[in-house]
């Protein structure tokens, strides 16, 4: 395993699965590229390398175990940390 992607600390399972894949991916089902990206992000979450949650405005916040945080919006991805 590439050490850059090894979790620094185990993520709390409850925190990792706060938002289900179906709830997060449902608004993005119309675009094949988005479906593929979301599938890869889902695998990161399932493998414990990331956690995600849906914010009140529908934006998805993705936090990688390495510390990077991204906002996944309808047409953009923004790195915030």
| pLDDT tens for each residue of the chain, 81 residues long | 455 555 555 555 444 445 555 665 555 556 788 888 889 999 999 999 999 999 999 899 999 999 999 999 888 889 998
- Residue 15: what pLDDT? 47
Task: Look at phi and psi of residue 48 and say left if phi exceeds 0, alpha if psi is from -120 to 50, else beta.
Answer: left
Q: d(Cα 37, Cα 33) in Å, to the nearest integer?
A: 6
pTM here?
0.61
CA dist., res. 68 & res. 66, Å (int): 6
């Amino acid at each position: 395993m590439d050490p850059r992607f090894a979790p620094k600390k185990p993520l709390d399972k409850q925190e990792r699965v706060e938002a289900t894949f179906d709830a997060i991916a449902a608004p993005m089902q119309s675009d094949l590229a988005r479906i593929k990206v979301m599938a890869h992000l889902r695998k990161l979450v399932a493998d414990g390398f990331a956690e995600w949650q849906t914010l009140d405005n529908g934006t998805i916040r993705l936090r990688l175990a390495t510390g990077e945080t991204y906002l996944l919006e309808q047409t953009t991805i923004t790195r915030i940390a």
